[in-house]
Amino acid sequence: MQTTDKMQRDSNFDPFEKEKRLRAESNSWDTSCPENAEEGDIPIIDLSDYFNHPNEDNLQQVAAQLQFACEQVGFFSIIGHSISPAQMEKMFDAVRTFHSLPLEKKRAILMDRPEWPVGGVGYLPVKNRKLPARDKGNLNEAFVIKCDHRLDMNDNQWPDEESFPSFKETVSGYANAMEQLGKKLMPIFAVALGMPTDYFKEAFESPMYRLRMTHYPCAGDTDPDEFGIAPHVDTTFCTLLAQDQPGLTIFSERRKKWIKAPLIENAFIVNSGELLRQWTNDRFISVKHFANNNTGNISRYSIPFFLNANTDFVMSCVPTCCSAENPSKYPPISYAQSQAVAQGE
């Protein structure tokens, strides 16, 4: 998805205008004929050699793969990422158990309830119209936490200990592991952009992240324009998605077709988002995607980790992504001034 010429010419970035444009464009996409992914549609990057032996050769190899993926595809899968299968399965078990709680237990920690001082955290019921905001409700239920330099785990809502005594510990451990994985990816992103390995270090000292634990109930008979997650582009730097069953569909910018992302065991599907695209002056793309519910008798669960820079870090165009001939299209801006404003963070 590309912003309009007017947005690119305008030196004043208006997050509300951008949110409105993203929403309008998503409503125009024809999602009716997705195809199965072909080999190479979604690159697979094995991080094990670099993580186990972080030398220059291994870094350059994975950086070249990431550069291709972010410039040409926008999505890629990572394996050898250091999050153990046991920790991933423990997390999925916790998410399934949470969503099996009685509805009144979940609604007691409803997102944006007046009694809770932090917005954007807690339980979202089925047919919610948030994240992304759409006219029709998303056919999923979710539990969301977020952290940044001001908010920690204790600022989030949690089910009562009696209902689920181990949940907070399991989720906190997984979120911390994902934050560390995100930071370990930063030198790869930096080198992929021709920058020093520590280019993103300051920006991600205390990153803003959101962890969403989503349950997609069996779809049954649904309208064609109803989705588990409505078509959208992520507003993040990047998103790391774990899923227990296929259900994600992405738009291939190379093939100009919607393709169904396959499930790879113990892998994360990663996509670059609007903040990274903006930071790189549109060099790295953000790709439209959506999720559907299963039509059989098995629910689907997914756990996306939405990673952003420190909320107050001002993101100026990456030097290798702009020049006199290709000036920056966006003003220096922080997450708190951009997407967070439009999303009520």
3-state secondary structure of 325: coil
pLDDT at 344 over 70: no
Across residues 79-86, what is the average pLDDT?
Answer: 97
pLDDT at 19 over 90: no
Percent of all residues in the chain with a pLDDT value above 90, rounded to a whole number: 70
pTM given for the model:
0.91
Residue 138 has a pLDDT of 77
pLDDT digits (tens, 9 = 90+) for 279-335: 999 999 999 999 887 666 788 999 999 999 999 999 999 999 999 999 999 999 898
CB-neighbour burial class of residue 47 (10 A; exposed 0-12, middle 13-18, buried 19+): buried
Residue 341 has a pLDDT of 53
SS3 content of the chain, % helix, strand, coil (to 5): 30, 20, 50
| Least confident piece of the model among 7-11, 37-41, 164-168, 229-233 | 7-11
The token pair that represents 277 in the structure block: 């695209």
Residue 227 pLDDT grade (very low, low, confident, very high; cuts 50, 70, 90)? confident
Q: Which fold has domain 33-342?
A: Jelly Rolls (2.60.120)
Residue 91 has a pLDDT of 98
Residue 7 has a pLDDT of 36
pLDDT at 87 over 60: yes
Residue 294 has a pLDDT of 64
CB-neighbour burial class of residue 207 (10 A; exposed 0-12, middle 13-18, buried 19+): buried
Q: Where do the structural domains in the chain lie, given as residue ranges?
A: 33-342
pLDDT at 17 over 80: no
The C-alpha atoms of residue 342 and residue 345 are separated, in whole angstroms, by: 8
pLDDT at 259 over 60: yes
Q: How would you classify the pairing of strands 300-308 and 208-216? A: antiparallel
pLDDT digits (tens, 9 = 90+) for 101-134: 999 999 999 999 999 999 999 999 988 766 555 5
Residue appearing with tokens 């592991």: 177
Q: How would you classify the pairing of strands 289-291 and 268-272? A: unpaired
3-state secondary structure of 143: strand
The token pair that represents 216 in the structure block: 């997609």
Residue appearing with tokens 């499930």: 263
Q: What is the chain's mean pLDDT, rounded?
A: 89
Secondary structure tally for the chain: helices H, strands E: 9, 13
